[in-house]
Amino acid sequence: MTAPLSVPLAGSERLALADARPAGAVDPAEQIEVTLVTRRAASLPTDAADVPLRQSRADLRERYGSDPADQQLVADVFARVAPAIRITGRDPATRRLTIAGPARELAQVFGTEMTLATSAGAGGEPVSHRYRTGGLHIPAELDGVIVAVLGLDNRPQVRSQHRFADPATVQTSYTPAQVASIYEFPVDTDGSGQTVGIIELGGGFATSDLNTYFSSLGVTTPSVIAVGVDGAANMPGQDPQGADAEVLLDIEVVGAVAPGASQVVYFAPNTDQGFVDAVTTAVHAEPTPVAVSISWGGPESSWTAQSMSALDQAIADGVALGVTVTVAAGDNGSSDGVSGTAPHVDFPASSPHALACGGTSLSADPATGLIRSETVWNDGASGGAGGGGVSVTFPLPAWQATAGVPASPAGSTGRGVPDIAGNADPATGYQVLVDGQRTVIGGTSAVAPLSAALTARLAQAVGERLGLIQQSLYVGVQPGQPVADVRDITVGTNGAYSAEPGWDACTGLGVPIGSALLAALSG
Protein backbone atom coordinates (compact mmCIF):
# COMPACT_ATOMS: atom_id res chain seq x y z
CA MET A 1 0.00 0.00 0.00
CA THR A 2 1.31 3.45 -0.88
CA ALA A 3 0.89 6.59 1.17
CA PRO A 4 -1.89 8.98 0.07
CA LEU A 5 -0.90 11.40 -2.71
CA SER A 6 2.39 9.60 -3.31
CA VAL A 7 4.54 9.42 -6.43
CA PRO A 8 7.13 6.87 -7.57
CA LEU A 9 10.74 7.56 -6.57
CA ALA A 10 12.78 7.29 -9.76
CA GLY A 11 15.61 4.78 -9.64
CA SER A 12 14.45 3.05 -6.45
CA GLU A 13 13.55 -0.29 -8.06
CA ARG A 14 15.13 -3.23 -6.26
CA LEU A 15 15.63 -6.48 -8.18
CA ALA A 16 15.00 -9.85 -6.58
CA LEU A 17 18.02 -11.81 -5.38
CA ALA A 18 18.31 -15.19 -7.07
CA ASP A 19 19.63 -16.83 -3.91
CA ALA A 20 17.31 -15.10 -1.41
CA ARG A 21 15.44 -17.45 0.89
CA PRO A 22 12.46 -16.32 2.99
CA ALA A 23 13.37 -15.90 6.66
CA GLY A 24 10.13 -14.66 8.18
CA ALA A 25 8.45 -11.31 8.71
CA VAL A 26 9.95 -8.01 9.78
CA ASP A 27 8.76 -7.00 13.25
CA PRO A 28 6.35 -4.15 12.46
CA ALA A 29 7.53 -2.31 15.57
CA GLU A 30 11.26 -2.61 14.72
CA GLN A 31 12.91 0.79 14.72
CA ILE A 32 14.77 1.35 11.45
CA GLU A 33 16.95 4.34 10.57
CA VAL A 34 16.91 5.42 6.93
CA THR A 35 19.15 7.83 5.05
CA LEU A 36 17.38 10.26 2.73
CA VAL A 37 19.47 12.04 0.10
CA THR A 38 18.04 15.41 -0.88
CA ARG A 39 18.70 17.33 -4.10
CA ARG A 40 21.53 19.80 -4.57
CA ALA A 41 20.77 23.49 -4.15
CA ALA A 42 22.66 23.96 -7.43
CA SER A 43 24.45 21.63 -9.80
CA LEU A 44 28.18 21.20 -9.30
CA PRO A 45 29.98 23.45 -11.79
CA THR A 46 32.15 21.49 -14.20
CA ASP A 47 34.79 22.12 -16.84
CA ALA A 48 34.43 21.36 -20.55
CA ALA A 49 35.10 17.66 -19.84
CA ASP A 50 32.29 17.59 -17.24
CA VAL A 51 34.79 17.25 -14.36
CA PRO A 52 33.73 19.08 -11.17
CA LEU A 53 35.62 22.32 -10.70
CA ARG A 54 37.71 22.67 -7.56
CA GLN A 55 35.80 24.16 -4.63
CA SER A 56 36.67 25.25 -1.13
CA ARG A 57 35.11 23.07 1.54
CA ALA A 58 32.86 25.96 2.63
CA ASP A 59 31.66 26.74 -0.90
CA LEU A 60 30.94 23.10 -1.74
CA ARG A 61 28.87 22.60 1.38
CA GLU A 62 27.03 25.94 1.31
CA ARG A 63 26.38 26.31 -2.43
CA TYR A 64 26.17 22.73 -3.70
CA GLY A 65 24.80 20.84 -0.73
CA SER A 66 21.05 20.86 -0.12
CA ASP A 67 18.99 23.93 0.60
CA PRO A 68 18.12 23.76 4.33
CA ALA A 69 14.57 24.74 3.31
CA ASP A 70 14.30 21.46 1.37
CA GLN A 71 15.21 19.44 4.43
CA GLN A 72 12.81 21.47 6.54
CA LEU A 73 10.07 20.68 4.01
CA VAL A 74 10.87 16.98 4.36
CA ALA A 75 10.61 17.27 8.14
CA ASP A 76 7.31 19.13 7.92
CA VAL A 77 5.75 16.65 5.51
CA PHE A 78 6.76 13.61 7.55
CA ALA A 79 5.49 15.23 10.73
CA ARG A 80 2.10 15.56 9.04
CA VAL A 81 1.76 12.31 7.10
CA ALA A 82 3.72 9.95 9.39
CA PRO A 83 4.00 11.30 12.95
CA ALA A 84 5.59 8.08 14.19
CA ILE A 85 8.62 8.76 11.97
CA ARG A 86 11.07 11.19 13.52
CA ILE A 87 13.99 13.16 12.12
CA THR A 88 17.22 11.90 13.70
CA GLY A 89 19.75 14.00 11.81
CA ARG A 90 20.09 16.77 9.25
CA ASP A 91 23.18 17.62 7.23
CA PRO A 92 22.31 19.87 4.29
CA ALA A 93 26.03 20.26 3.56
CA THR A 94 26.32 16.59 2.59
CA ARG A 95 22.70 16.37 1.36
CA ARG A 96 21.71 13.76 3.94
CA LEU A 97 18.78 13.64 6.31
CA THR A 98 18.16 10.63 8.55
CA ILE A 99 14.79 9.46 9.77
CA ALA A 100 13.79 6.63 12.06
CA GLY A 101 10.54 4.92 12.88
CA PRO A 102 8.68 1.63 13.12
CA ALA A 103 9.01 -0.71 10.16
CA ARG A 104 5.24 -0.65 9.63
CA GLU A 105 5.05 3.13 9.19
CA LEU A 106 8.19 3.30 7.05
CA ALA A 107 6.85 0.61 4.71
CA GLN A 108 3.54 2.43 4.43
CA VAL A 109 4.91 5.89 3.75
CA PHE A 110 7.36 4.58 1.15
CA GLY A 111 4.85 2.24 -0.46
CA THR A 112 6.72 -1.02 -0.07
CA GLU A 113 6.68 -4.33 1.76
CA MET A 114 9.67 -5.52 3.77
CA THR A 115 10.33 -9.13 4.70
CA LEU A 116 13.29 -10.99 6.13
CA ALA A 117 15.47 -13.05 3.81
CA THR A 118 18.73 -14.96 3.87
CA SER A 119 21.26 -14.56 1.07
CA ALA A 120 25.00 -14.79 0.52
CA GLY A 121 27.16 -12.24 2.29
CA ALA A 122 30.43 -10.71 1.09
CA GLY A 123 32.35 -13.89 1.85
CA GLY A 124 29.65 -16.25 0.63
CA GLU A 125 28.32 -17.01 4.10
CA PRO A 126 24.52 -16.80 4.64
CA VAL A 127 23.34 -13.46 6.03
CA SER A 128 19.86 -12.56 7.25
CA HIS A 129 18.59 -9.12 6.28
CA ARG A 130 15.59 -6.98 5.45
CA TYR A 131 14.45 -7.41 1.89
CA ARG A 132 12.21 -5.64 -0.59
CA THR A 133 11.63 -5.72 -4.33
CA GLY A 134 10.18 -3.20 -6.76
CA GLY A 135 10.13 0.56 -6.42
CA LEU A 136 9.43 3.05 -3.64
CA HIS A 137 6.99 5.94 -3.39
CA ILE A 138 7.37 9.26 -1.62
CA PRO A 139 4.83 11.93 -0.64
CA ALA A 140 3.95 13.98 -3.71
CA GLU A 141 5.07 17.22 -2.06
CA LEU A 142 8.61 15.83 -1.93
CA ASP A 143 8.80 14.84 -5.59
CA GLY A 144 12.22 15.97 -6.82
CA VAL A 145 13.31 16.96 -3.31
CA ILE A 146 14.18 13.44 -2.14
CA VAL A 147 16.45 11.70 -4.66
CA ALA A 148 17.31 8.54 -2.71
CA VAL A 149 15.91 6.49 0.18
CA LEU A 150 18.53 4.09 1.56
CA GLY A 151 18.32 1.54 4.35
CA LEU A 152 14.93 -0.15 4.11
CA ASP A 153 16.53 -3.11 2.35
CA ASN A 154 19.85 -3.87 4.06
CA ARG A 155 21.03 -6.81 1.95
CA PRO A 156 24.84 -7.17 1.61
CA GLN A 157 25.64 -4.80 -1.23
CA VAL A 158 29.26 -5.47 -2.20
CA ARG A 159 32.23 -7.78 -1.73
CA SER A 160 35.85 -7.09 -0.91
CA GLN A 161 38.23 -7.46 -3.84
CA HIS A 162 41.05 -9.42 -2.18
CA ARG A 163 42.24 -12.98 -2.65
CA PHE A 164 44.56 -15.10 -0.54
CA ALA A 165 47.45 -16.71 -2.35
CA ASP A 166 47.50 -20.47 -2.68
CA PRO A 167 50.93 -21.43 -1.27
CA ALA A 168 51.25 -24.04 -4.01
CA THR A 169 50.97 -21.42 -6.76
CA VAL A 170 52.97 -18.53 -5.32
CA GLN A 171 55.68 -17.59 -7.80
CA THR A 172 57.09 -14.70 -5.77
CA SER A 173 55.81 -12.12 -3.32
CA TYR A 174 56.73 -8.61 -2.35
CA THR A 175 56.42 -6.16 0.46
CA PRO A 176 54.27 -3.18 -0.60
CA ALA A 177 57.36 -0.97 -0.46
CA GLN A 178 59.16 -3.24 -2.92
CA VAL A 179 56.29 -2.92 -5.40
CA ALA A 180 56.39 0.86 -5.00
CA SER A 181 60.13 0.85 -5.69
CA ILE A 182 59.71 -1.37 -8.76
CA TYR A 183 57.06 1.07 -10.02
CA GLU A 184 59.45 3.99 -9.43
CA PHE A 185 57.32 5.87 -6.94
CA PRO A 186 58.90 9.31 -6.41
CA VAL A 187 62.01 9.16 -4.22
CA ASP A 188 62.31 11.41 -1.19
CA THR A 189 58.56 11.25 -0.61
CA ASP A 190 56.64 9.35 2.05
CA GLY A 191 53.23 11.04 2.07
CA SER A 192 54.06 13.35 4.96
CA GLY A 193 51.42 15.99 5.61
CA GLN A 194 48.74 13.98 3.78
CA THR A 195 45.70 12.07 5.02
CA VAL A 196 44.38 8.94 3.31
CA GLY A 197 40.83 7.72 3.97
CA ILE A 198 40.06 4.02 3.70
CA ILE A 199 36.53 2.59 3.36
CA GLU A 200 35.81 -0.74 5.06
CA LEU A 201 32.48 -2.56 5.15
CA GLY A 202 33.36 -5.12 7.78
CA GLY A 203 36.27 -6.49 9.77
CA GLY A 204 38.82 -4.61 11.78
CA PHE A 205 42.44 -4.22 12.82
CA ALA A 206 44.43 -4.51 16.05
CA THR A 207 47.14 -1.95 16.78
CA SER A 208 49.40 -4.78 17.91
CA ASP A 209 49.27 -6.24 14.38
CA LEU A 210 50.20 -2.91 12.87
CA ASN A 211 53.10 -2.40 15.27
CA THR A 212 54.46 -5.87 14.54
CA TYR A 213 54.08 -5.52 10.78
CA PHE A 214 55.60 -2.08 10.38
CA SER A 215 58.39 -2.89 12.81
CA SER A 216 59.33 -5.85 10.62
CA LEU A 217 59.65 -3.44 7.69
CA GLY A 218 61.72 -0.96 9.69
CA VAL A 219 58.96 1.60 9.39
CA THR A 220 57.40 3.65 12.18
CA THR A 221 53.76 2.70 12.61
CA PRO A 222 51.71 5.44 10.94
CA SER A 223 48.80 7.21 12.58
CA VAL A 224 45.71 5.05 11.99
CA ILE A 225 42.34 6.19 13.38
CA ALA A 226 39.13 4.15 13.18
CA VAL A 227 35.80 5.97 12.63
CA GLY A 228 32.45 4.21 12.93
CA VAL A 229 29.60 5.04 10.54
CA ASP A 230 25.94 3.97 10.89
CA GLY A 231 26.64 1.98 14.03
CA ALA A 232 29.57 -0.03 12.66
CA ALA A 233 32.93 -0.21 14.43
CA ASN A 234 36.45 -1.58 14.21
CA MET A 235 35.92 -5.28 15.04
CA PRO A 236 39.21 -7.19 14.68
CA GLY A 237 39.45 -10.94 15.03
CA GLN A 238 35.93 -11.65 13.81
CA ASP A 239 36.75 -12.60 10.22
CA PRO A 240 40.49 -13.29 9.64
CA GLN A 241 39.74 -15.12 6.37
CA GLY A 242 37.58 -12.31 5.02
CA ALA A 243 36.99 -8.73 6.03
CA ASP A 244 39.91 -8.51 8.50
CA ALA A 245 42.25 -9.48 5.67
CA GLU A 246 40.85 -6.66 3.54
CA VAL A 247 41.22 -4.10 6.32
CA LEU A 248 44.80 -5.04 7.17
CA LEU A 249 45.83 -5.32 3.53
CA ASP A 250 44.59 -1.78 2.87
CA ILE A 251 46.20 -0.25 5.96
CA GLU A 252 49.50 -2.09 5.54
CA VAL A 253 49.85 -1.25 1.84
CA VAL A 254 49.19 2.46 2.44
CA GLY A 255 51.40 2.53 5.54
CA ALA A 256 54.32 0.69 3.96
CA VAL A 257 54.27 2.80 0.79
CA ALA A 258 53.39 6.19 2.33
CA PRO A 259 54.39 5.83 6.02
CA GLY A 260 54.32 9.59 6.55
CA ALA A 261 50.62 9.84 5.71
CA SER A 262 47.94 9.66 8.39
CA GLN A 263 45.17 7.12 7.82
CA VAL A 264 41.50 7.35 8.77
CA VAL A 265 39.62 4.08 8.39
CA TYR A 266 35.83 4.36 8.05
CA PHE A 267 33.88 1.28 9.14
CA ALA A 268 30.30 1.01 7.89
CA PRO A 269 27.72 -1.76 7.38
CA ASN A 270 27.90 -3.61 4.07
CA THR A 271 24.73 -2.04 2.65
CA ASP A 272 24.10 0.62 0.04
CA GLN A 273 23.20 2.99 2.88
CA GLY A 274 26.42 2.21 4.75
CA PHE A 275 28.57 2.58 1.64
CA VAL A 276 27.09 5.97 0.69
CA ASP A 277 27.32 7.27 4.25
CA ALA A 278 30.93 6.11 4.66
CA VAL A 279 32.19 7.68 1.43
CA THR A 280 30.25 10.90 2.09
CA THR A 281 31.70 11.12 5.59
CA ALA A 282 35.23 10.43 4.32
CA VAL A 283 35.36 13.00 1.51
CA HIS A 284 33.82 15.73 3.67
CA ALA A 285 36.12 15.07 6.63
CA GLU A 286 38.50 17.60 8.10
CA PRO A 287 41.27 17.68 7.16
CA THR A 288 40.26 16.93 3.58
CA PRO A 289 41.94 13.66 2.59
CA VAL A 290 44.31 13.58 -0.35
CA ALA A 291 42.86 10.21 -1.37
CA VAL A 292 40.14 7.77 -0.38
CA SER A 293 40.81 4.09 -1.06
CA ILE A 294 37.89 1.73 -1.79
CA SER A 295 38.52 -2.00 -2.19
CA TRP A 296 34.84 -3.03 -2.21
CA GLY A 297 32.36 -3.18 -5.05
CA GLY A 298 29.69 -5.11 -6.89
CA PRO A 299 28.36 -5.50 -10.44
CA GLU A 300 26.43 -2.49 -11.73
CA SER A 301 23.44 -4.80 -12.15
CA SER A 302 23.26 -5.40 -8.37
CA TRP A 303 22.67 -1.72 -7.52
CA THR A 304 19.61 0.48 -7.65
CA ALA A 305 19.94 3.56 -9.82
CA GLN A 306 19.31 5.81 -6.81
CA SER A 307 22.13 4.29 -4.73
CA MET A 308 24.58 4.38 -7.64
CA SER A 309 23.77 8.03 -8.27
CA ALA A 310 24.08 8.90 -4.58
CA LEU A 311 27.48 7.21 -4.29
CA ASP A 312 28.73 8.66 -7.58
CA GLN A 313 27.75 12.14 -6.42
CA ALA A 314 29.52 11.62 -3.10
CA ILE A 315 32.67 10.75 -5.06
CA ALA A 316 32.08 13.82 -7.25
CA ASP A 317 32.08 15.93 -4.08
CA GLY A 318 35.49 14.45 -3.38
CA VAL A 319 36.77 15.46 -6.82
CA ALA A 320 35.51 19.01 -6.24
CA LEU A 321 37.55 19.07 -3.02
CA GLY A 322 40.66 17.70 -4.76
CA VAL A 323 40.29 14.16 -3.39
CA THR A 324 41.45 11.25 -5.56
CA VAL A 325 39.11 8.30 -4.98
CA THR A 326 40.88 5.07 -5.92
CA VAL A 327 38.65 2.02 -6.46
CA ALA A 328 39.40 -1.64 -7.10
CA ALA A 329 38.05 -2.77 -10.49
CA GLY A 330 37.12 -6.29 -9.37
CA ASP A 331 38.61 -9.77 -9.11
CA ASN A 332 36.30 -11.79 -11.35
CA GLY A 333 37.43 -10.84 -14.84
CA SER A 334 35.11 -9.40 -17.44
CA SER A 335 32.06 -11.24 -16.04
CA ASP A 336 32.44 -9.55 -12.63
CA GLY A 337 31.09 -12.76 -11.14
CA VAL A 338 27.69 -12.50 -12.85
CA SER A 339 26.40 -15.73 -14.39
CA GLY A 340 26.02 -15.86 -18.14
CA THR A 341 28.27 -14.79 -20.98
CA ALA A 342 27.73 -11.01 -21.00
CA PRO A 343 30.52 -8.79 -19.63
CA HIS A 344 29.83 -6.65 -16.55
CA VAL A 345 31.78 -3.93 -14.76
CA ASP A 346 32.10 -3.29 -11.06
CA PHE A 347 30.73 -0.22 -9.30
CA PRO A 348 31.93 2.15 -7.84
CA ALA A 349 34.97 1.54 -10.07
CA SER A 350 32.75 2.50 -13.02
CA SER A 351 32.00 5.93 -11.56
CA PRO A 352 33.44 8.56 -13.93
CA HIS A 353 34.65 10.41 -10.81
CA ALA A 354 36.74 7.47 -9.51
CA LEU A 355 40.19 6.24 -10.50
CA ALA A 356 39.49 2.60 -11.47
CA CYS A 357 42.36 0.26 -10.60
CA GLY A 358 42.86 -3.00 -12.52
CA GLY A 359 45.20 -5.92 -11.95
CA THR A 360 48.42 -7.35 -13.33
CA SER A 361 50.74 -10.27 -12.62
CA LEU A 362 54.22 -8.90 -11.85
CA SER A 363 57.49 -10.78 -12.12
CA ALA A 364 60.36 -8.57 -11.00
CA ASP A 365 63.58 -8.52 -9.01
CA PRO A 366 62.88 -6.47 -5.88
CA ALA A 367 66.60 -5.99 -5.29
CA THR A 368 67.25 -4.29 -8.62
CA GLY A 369 63.76 -3.20 -9.66
CA LEU A 370 64.16 -5.06 -12.95
CA ILE A 371 60.78 -6.12 -14.35
CA ARG A 372 61.02 -9.48 -16.07
CA SER A 373 57.40 -9.49 -17.24
CA GLU A 374 54.05 -7.96 -16.38
CA THR A 375 50.83 -9.28 -17.86
CA VAL A 376 47.09 -9.13 -17.22
CA TRP A 377 46.21 -10.93 -14.00
CA ASN A 378 44.13 -13.99 -14.91
CA ASP A 379 44.36 -17.16 -12.84
CA GLY A 380 41.14 -18.62 -14.25
CA ALA A 381 37.63 -18.85 -12.85
CA SER A 382 38.72 -20.25 -9.49
CA GLY A 383 41.83 -18.11 -9.10
CA GLY A 384 40.45 -14.74 -10.12
CA ALA A 385 41.24 -12.16 -12.78
CA GLY A 386 41.36 -8.39 -13.01
CA GLY A 387 38.00 -6.77 -13.67
CA GLY A 388 37.31 -4.43 -16.55
CA GLY A 389 34.89 -3.57 -19.29
CA VAL A 390 32.45 -0.88 -20.32
CA SER A 391 29.71 0.61 -18.17
CA VAL A 392 26.07 0.31 -19.17
CA THR A 393 25.18 2.98 -16.60
CA PHE A 394 27.65 5.84 -17.00
CA PRO A 395 28.30 7.49 -20.37
CA LEU A 396 31.77 7.78 -21.86
CA PRO A 397 33.52 10.70 -20.09
CA ALA A 398 34.85 13.44 -22.35
CA TRP A 399 38.35 12.95 -20.94
CA GLN A 400 38.24 9.29 -22.06
CA ALA A 401 36.60 9.91 -25.44
CA THR A 402 39.72 9.42 -27.58
CA ALA A 403 41.02 6.29 -25.81
CA GLY A 404 39.25 3.80 -28.06
CA VAL A 405 36.80 2.40 -25.50
CA PRO A 406 34.60 -0.16 -27.30
CA ALA A 407 30.82 -0.24 -27.19
CA SER A 408 29.18 -1.47 -24.01
CA PRO A 409 27.36 -4.83 -23.89
CA ALA A 410 24.19 -2.80 -24.54
CA GLY A 411 25.70 -1.41 -27.73
CA SER A 412 26.06 2.11 -26.35
CA THR A 413 29.10 4.19 -25.51
CA GLY A 414 30.08 3.96 -21.86
CA ARG A 415 32.72 4.62 -19.26
CA GLY A 416 35.71 2.32 -19.78
CA VAL A 417 37.15 0.44 -16.79
CA PRO A 418 39.91 0.43 -15.53
CA ASP A 419 42.04 3.56 -15.86
CA ILE A 420 45.31 2.16 -14.53
CA ALA A 421 46.59 -1.13 -13.15
CA GLY A 422 49.11 -2.61 -10.74
CA ASN A 423 50.24 -5.90 -9.26
CA ALA A 424 47.19 -7.86 -8.11
CA ASP A 425 47.89 -11.54 -8.79
CA PRO A 426 47.92 -13.48 -5.49
CA ALA A 427 50.66 -15.64 -7.02
CA THR A 428 52.83 -12.50 -7.14
CA GLY A 429 51.12 -10.88 -4.18
CA TYR A 430 51.81 -8.75 -1.13
CA GLN A 431 53.33 -9.90 2.15
CA VAL A 432 51.01 -8.81 4.96
CA LEU A 433 50.11 -9.67 8.55
CA VAL A 434 46.48 -10.59 9.31
CA ASP A 435 45.36 -11.29 12.86
CA GLY A 436 48.85 -12.37 13.85
CA GLN A 437 49.40 -14.57 10.78
CA ARG A 438 51.83 -13.72 8.00
CA THR A 439 50.31 -14.38 4.61
CA VAL A 440 50.34 -13.32 0.96
CA ILE A 441 47.30 -11.56 -0.51
CA GLY A 442 46.47 -10.22 -3.96
CA GLY A 443 43.45 -8.86 -5.77
CA THR A 444 42.68 -5.43 -7.14
CA SER A 445 42.00 -4.64 -3.47
CA ALA A 446 45.73 -4.11 -3.19
CA VAL A 447 45.92 -1.76 -6.19
CA ALA A 448 43.42 0.74 -4.73
CA PRO A 449 45.47 1.47 -1.57
CA LEU A 450 48.70 1.30 -3.58
CA SER A 451 47.32 4.02 -5.88
CA ALA A 452 46.09 6.04 -2.90
CA ALA A 453 49.59 5.90 -1.40
CA LEU A 454 51.11 6.98 -4.73
CA THR A 455 48.67 9.89 -4.79
CA ALA A 456 49.79 10.92 -1.30
CA ARG A 457 53.43 10.91 -2.35
CA LEU A 458 52.73 12.84 -5.55
CA ALA A 459 50.65 15.41 -3.68
CA GLN A 460 53.41 15.82 -1.12
CA ALA A 461 55.89 16.49 -3.93
CA VAL A 462 53.76 18.96 -5.92
CA GLY A 463 52.21 20.64 -2.88
CA GLU A 464 48.53 20.21 -3.76
CA ARG A 465 45.76 17.63 -3.92
CA LEU A 466 45.28 16.06 -7.35
CA GLY A 467 41.55 15.26 -7.62
CA LEU A 468 40.64 13.44 -10.83
CA ILE A 469 44.22 12.56 -11.70
CA GLN A 470 43.30 10.40 -14.70
CA GLN A 471 42.08 13.49 -16.53
CA SER A 472 45.77 14.36 -16.93
CA LEU A 473 46.72 10.81 -17.86
CA TYR A 474 44.28 10.70 -20.79
CA VAL A 475 45.43 13.94 -22.42
CA GLY A 476 46.31 13.23 -26.07
CA VAL A 477 45.57 9.49 -25.80
CA GLN A 478 44.82 7.71 -29.06
CA PRO A 479 43.56 4.17 -29.72
CA GLY A 480 46.36 1.64 -29.95
CA GLN A 481 49.03 4.11 -28.82
CA PRO A 482 50.99 3.78 -25.56
CA VAL A 483 50.62 6.69 -23.16
CA ALA A 484 53.37 8.75 -21.60
CA ASP A 485 54.02 8.28 -17.87
CA VAL A 486 52.58 4.73 -17.79
CA ARG A 487 54.01 1.36 -18.80
CA ASP A 488 51.76 -0.33 -21.32
CA ILE A 489 50.62 -3.90 -20.59
CA THR A 490 49.97 -5.75 -23.85
CA VAL A 491 49.82 -9.44 -22.91
CA GLY A 492 46.87 -11.31 -21.43
CA THR A 493 43.10 -11.36 -21.23
CA ASN A 494 40.45 -11.00 -18.52
CA GLY A 495 37.86 -13.01 -20.41
CA ALA A 496 35.95 -10.95 -22.96
CA TYR A 497 38.75 -8.42 -23.40
CA SER A 498 42.42 -8.68 -24.32
CA ALA A 499 45.36 -6.46 -23.54
CA GLU A 500 46.63 -4.41 -26.45
CA PRO A 501 48.71 -1.29 -27.06
CA GLY A 502 47.13 1.80 -25.54
CA TRP A 503 44.01 1.70 -23.38
CA ASP A 504 42.27 -1.64 -22.95
CA ALA A 505 39.56 -3.05 -20.70
CA CYS A 506 42.05 -5.24 -18.83
CA THR A 507 44.68 -2.81 -17.52
CA GLY A 508 43.44 0.57 -18.71
CA LEU A 509 46.28 2.83 -19.79
CA GLY A 510 48.81 0.63 -17.99
CA VAL A 511 50.91 0.83 -14.84
CA PRO A 512 51.85 4.36 -13.73
CA ILE A 513 55.54 5.14 -13.65
CA GLY A 514 55.74 7.18 -10.48
CA SER A 515 58.76 9.31 -11.31
CA ALA A 516 57.50 10.12 -14.82
CA LEU A 517 54.07 10.99 -13.48
CA LEU A 518 55.60 13.37 -10.95
CA ALA A 519 57.63 15.06 -13.68
CA ALA A 520 54.50 15.52 -15.79
CA LEU A 521 52.47 16.90 -12.88
CA SER A 522 55.30 19.22 -11.86
CA GLY A 523 55.59 20.49 -15.41
State the Cα–Cα distance between residues 175 and 216, nearest whole angstrom.
11
Alpha-carbon dihedral angle through residues 19, 24, 25, 29, given to the nearest 10 degrees:
-120
How many residues are there in the chain? 523
Ranges of H-type helices in 321-429: none
State the Cα–Cα distance between residues 129 and 426, nearest whole angstrom.
32
Query: 440-460 as b/e, with b when 16 or more CB fall inside 10 Å?
Result: bbbbbbbbbbbbbbbbbbbbb
State the Cα–Cα distance between residues 30 and 33, nearest whole angstrom.
10
State the Cα–Cα distance between residues 431 and 205, nearest whole angstrom.
16
**CB of 380 within 8 A of CB of 317?**
no
Q: Is 33 a catalytic residue?
A: no
Which residues, 6 or more positions from 504, have their beta carbon under 8 angstroms from its beta carbon? 388, 489, 497, 498
State the Cα–Cα distance between residues 458 and 86, nearest whole angstrom.
46
SS3 letters for 477-489?
CCCCCCCCCEECC
200, 244, 246, 504: the catalytic one is: 246
- Residue 123 class from Cβ within 10 Å (0-12 exposed, 13-18 middle, 19+ buried)? middle
Q: Is 445 a catalytic residue?
A: yes
200, 230, 239, 250: the catalytic one is: 250
Cα end-to-end distance, the chain, whole Å: 61
**CB of 51 within 8 A of CB of 470?**
no
State the Cα–Cα distance between residues 103 and 124, nearest whole angstrom.
28
Which residues, 6 or more positions from 493, have their beta carbon under 8 angstroms from its beta carbon? 376, 378, 499, 506
Exposure of 27 in the CB half-sphere (CA atoms within 13 A): 6
445, 451, 485, 488: the catalytic one is: 445
**Phi, psi (rounded to 5 degrees) for 211:** -60, -45
Q: Is 250 a catalytic residue?
A: yes
State the catalytic residues. Answer: 246, 250, 445
